[in-house]
Structure 1
């Protein structure tokens, strides 16, 4: 079993209107993912789907995702417009978070968007939802996917715009067996630990669309990084 993780597409209205180089890179990368991992259980797009929050960017992606051989799970980032996403992707919840079983694991996809702020925040309602989902997992290990990192990465520009209430998040997760955290936002590949939990980020599209294949190998999680190796130049 496997799922795919891509993040920080940063689509702009002018990009999708003109089918710019950046959109062609994303388009080619999605083709690459569908052709190389058609057996994936799902693909997670980890936030900052849109760079300007415009309706046309979400409409373009919604249409594009229909041709993929697997379902897609979305979470928002700080550049996204939650209300437009809720309308365009027909999501009934006031927040864009969800839970999915993945083999023996429970995957929780978090909404860390705090409108008007580059940093992330989880309000009491979202933390209550998360606490309930952690409880439902029982003794099963949990995989967390979120846009904002819950920890410092050693960058003086990016560290102040991580998840602000990371201590509250840690308190909710403390009773659970958290196997892995995946995040975006920082536009680079990085592996670290937070409270003893392995955490990994993924770069944004430049000349290709970086894709992380997360596979269950026995009782382990194996992550494989691949990119489409597009010959298109980045913007």
Structure 2
């Protein structure tokens, strides 16, 4: 399986809406245009790791779906802290090729999503209900012992950028206890950080997807941005996983 991961789109009801001075729809369109021109023919799907909307509007989810429809690819998404998850589900479910990311399986890999969003709060929080939903997905897998990748919105380990580490996943003890229940955890993927990071979280590689709109400058404690956008390319097979970050 070969997929593209995008994250942190931050669209508005007004298609020309701006965040930190960036036209978020225009930047989203630029990212998808680059992806379409260079990679779409090789891809099986697009994964979206949250913050589709900035203003929790119906129109923002419609703009998102209508532009992604042009790629011709299946899309699997999970919510971020800026999303209205019930509204996103209602709007995006009208598009048959777009589904909430819960559980996917290939011949060699199990892909699971974990909800780290606490409504109304920027910080990540793993609730007991989210943990139980994750356990249910794991138990329902055809082969829970396959190599496993877990996707969530918030980063569960500090990346060294104080502005973002102040709103990372908070109750990490519960998170790591839950991850210990996964027989063959190989990789964690997240968004939220607006930057390209690769590190080890415990004994597991953690890869952070850049935002489609702008990046926060690495190491900053202030609202300091970089005029760059990007996405990740991920490949999963019997050999393992490979990743590439595209930034421009």
Q: TM-score, normalised by structure 2?
A: 0.82
Which residue matches 1:198? 205
Q: Please tell me whether residue 127 in structure 1 is matched to residue 107 in structure 2.
A: no
1:159-213 deviation digits (Å, cap 9, x = unpaired): 2311122211211220321111111111111111112000011221235541111
Q: Which SS does the other structure have where 1:158 is aligned?
A: helix
Where structure 2 has 5 or more consecutive residues not aligned to the other structure, the ranges are 95-99, 215-226
Measured in 2, the distance between the counterparts of 1:175 and 1:87 equals: 32
Structure 1: which 5+ residue stretches go unaligned?
A: 230-235
Matches within 5 A, 1:89-100: 89-90=92-93, 96-100=100-104
Q: Using the alignment, how far apart are the partners of 1:123 and 1:33 within structure 2? A: 35
Q: Quote the residue 1:104 is aligned against.
A: 108
Q: Residues 51-130 of structure 1: matches in 2 within 5 Å? A: 51-90=54-93, 96-130=100-134
Asked if 1:140 corresponds to 2:146, the answer is yes
CA distance in 2, matches of 1:5, 1:43: 6
Higher relative contact order (CA 8 A, sep 6+): 1
Larger CA deviation: 147-156 vs 202-211: 202-211
- 1:89 CA displacement: 1.3
> For residues 214 and 175 of structure 1, what CA distance do their matches in structure 2 show?
24
* Residues 34 and 69, structure 1, Cα contact 8 Å, conserved in 2: no
Paired positions, count: 223
Q: 4+ residue stretches of structure 1 with deviation over 6 A? A: none
Deviation at 1:152, TM superposition (A): 1.8
The CA deviation at 1:22 is 3.1
Aligned residue number for residue 233 of structure 1: none
Contact 2:80 2:117 in 1 (8 A): yes
C-alpha separation in 2, matches of 1:24 and 1:50: 14
Instruction: Describe the SS at the equivalent of 2:177.
Output: helix
RMSD of aligned alpha carbons: 2.1
User: TM-score, structure 1 length as denominator?
Assistant: 0.86
Q: Is the 8 A contact 1:6 1:210 kept in 2?
A: yes
| 2:236 aligned residue (216, 221, 227) | 216
Corresponding residue for 2:186? 179
Secondary structure of the residue aligned to 2:86 is helix
Q: How much has 1:148 moved relative to structure 2?
A: 0.1
